[in-house]
Structures are given as structure tokens and as C-alpha cells.
């Protein structure tokens, strides 16, 4: 009965590869997000979708491409992975703009 689930939990890959992270929420929320947590645990928003429409794109390199096939799913595809992409990526959802976020358990991406 996980509310926000993301897969995989761990992802280890080499520089230059392309990888995807998937996220699904069963809360019926309208808005979904991707956050990046760096090695110092700082959280920064990357993208947000509201009802499948992109509403936030925070100066993220265009190697990162989110896709929302429906409002319950938000995937993140990353092309040409770089060492600096190593981080924990969190998916989250909320009902509206000022409702609390519900987070997934994160995907730890390691680029070697």
C-alpha cells in the first residue's frame, strides 16, 4: 500500500549511459515532483507536473527529461550520465500547490 513508490532503489551505472527512474503514486494527487538530494543532503526541486502538464523546470540540464503518461506516474530519464549526477532522487506528490508533499523512498544513483 505504498503511497509513492519509485524504482529502482539503487542504480549504479557508468558515465555516458542512459537510465530511467520510475515513480507512481496511488494517492489520487494532481501534482508530482522530482527532487534531487546531493551528498550534503540539500534538497532541490527539479521538475513538477500538474495533471500531466509541466509546471516547474528548474534550470536542469536538458539531459534530464521527465515524462508523465498520466497523473499517477512521473518518470525521469537521464541521458549521457555524468559523475555529477550521482545523488539521491526523490519523487513526491501533493494534492495542490500548498499541500504537504508525500515522498517516495528515493533512488540512489551512482555514476562511475
- Residue ranges binding other proteins (CB under 8 A): 4, 31, 33, 40-45, 48, 50, 55-56, 90, 92, 94, 97-98, 100-106
What is the nearest approach in angstroms of other proteins to the Cβ of residue 87?
A: 14
Sequence-ordered list of residues with C-beta below 8 angstroms from that of 34, at least 6 positions apart, any chain:
23, 45, 46, 47, 48, 66, 74, 76, 89, 90, 91, 92
Of 4 and 78, CB closest to other proteins: 4
Of 40 and 84, CB closest to other proteins: 40
What is the nearest approach in angstroms of other proteins to the Cβ of residue 80?
A: 27
Of 85 and 90, CB closest to other proteins: 90
Interatomic CA distance for residues 92 and 102, integer angstroms: 5
The DSSP call for residue 3 is: S
Amino acid at each position: 500500500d505504498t503511497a509513492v513508490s519509485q524504482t529502482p532503489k539503487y542504480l549504479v551505472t557508468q558515465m555516458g549511459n542512459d537510465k530511467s527512474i520510475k515513480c507512481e503514486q496511488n494517492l489520487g494527487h494532481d501534482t508530482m515532483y522530482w527532487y534531487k538530494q546531493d551528498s550534503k543532503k540539500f534538497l532541490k526541486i527539479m521538475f513538477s507536473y500538474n495533471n500531466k502538464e509541466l509546471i516547474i523546470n528548474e534550470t536542469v540540464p536538458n539531459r534530464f527529461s521527465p515524462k508523465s503518461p498520466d497523473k499517477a506516474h512521473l518518470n525521469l530519464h537521464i541521458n549521457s550520465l555524468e559523475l555529477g549526477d550521482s545523488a539521491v532522487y526523490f519523487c513526491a506528490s501533493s494534492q495542490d500547490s500548498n499541500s504537504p508533499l508525500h515522498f517516495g523512498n528515493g533512488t540512489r544513483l551512482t555514476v562511475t
